[in-house]
Chains A and B, each alone.
Chain A
Amino acid sequence: QVQLQESGPGLVKPSQTLSLTCTVSGGSISSGSYYWSWIRQPAGKGLEWIGRIYTSGSTNYNPSLKSRVTISVDTSKNQFSLKLSSVTAADTAVYYCARVRSGRYIDYWGQGTLVTVSS
């Protein structure tokens, strides 16, 4: 059974960079036709897809966030990471990491981690 777990600071100051890591267990991040993705959800609002990465390092990002987002993968640690720069209060949300099967649907989600942007 694949499990994903987000980790990182729960509080980030405005204008700084938000950094989160997702650790994958129960399977190799390099196996199969899987992409690895980040999604966020502000309190009381809907889901927003941030971006995805394949283990080759190929990435795709939400155009509205593309200028501020970097997703990377470390296959030796079975982890992938999110960096979101120049954050504002609007970036406060629960951030989920997830496995995307065949690049088109999410079959496993992490439990989510709340990141608050505040001074």
Chain B
Amino acid sequence: QSALTQPASVSGSPGQSITISCTGTSSDVGGYNFVSWYQQHPGKAPKLMIYDVSNRPSGVSNRFSGSKSGNTASLTISGLQAEDEADYYCSSYTSSSTLVFGGGTKLTVL
């Protein structure tokens, strides 16, 4: 299985909004509404931010939102804050009953 495609890096200023894309195929992202997003700070384990395309776990800020169109899912962070600076990974369930991750996107808050 091939990794999902994410931009290597994105950046934004405090208060702005950014969007991270995650592109797969009809066998993963496009075939199921089972895309999740994870935030990872250096030296820490990843943290679930979005599941099933657009659902937020309890305790995650409503500044984080998710969507999907065709084979591409997106994570949007509004009202950027310094603490949002981290690596972000998308993941999708696949037709082979496996999970696949994206390559990760480094978010820099300017």
Q: A residues touching B (Cβ–Cβ < 8 Å)?
A: 37, 39, 46-49, 51-52, 60-64, 96, 100-101, 103-107, 109-112
Contact = CB atoms under 8 A, between A and B. Distances in A.
A112 to B, nearest CB: 6
A62 B93 contact: no
Nearest to A106: B48
B96 A104 contact: no
A21 to B, nearest CB: 17
Contact of B96 (A47, A60, A96, A112): A60
A96 B52 CA distance: 22
Given A104-B99, A106-B36, A46 B93 contact: no
Contacts of A111: 45
Interface in B3-28: 3
Contacts, number: 66
B96 to A, nearest CB: 7
Contacts of B102: 46
A107 B57 contact: yes
Interface of B: 1, 3, 32, 34, 36, 38, 45-48, 51-52, 57, 89, 91, 93, 96-104
Contacts of B34: 104-105
A109 B3 CA distance: 20
B99 A49 contact: yes
Which 7 pairs between the two chains have the least Cβ-Cβ distance? A105-B36, A109-B45, A105-B51, A104-B34, A46-B104, A104-B93, A47-B101
B45 A49 contact: no
B104 A107 contact: no
B101 A49 contact: yes
A96 B45 contact: yes
B103 A46 contact: yes
Contacts of B32: 104
Contact of A106 (B1, B46, B98): B46
Max chain A C-beta neighbours (<10 A), residue from B46, B48, B51, B98: B98
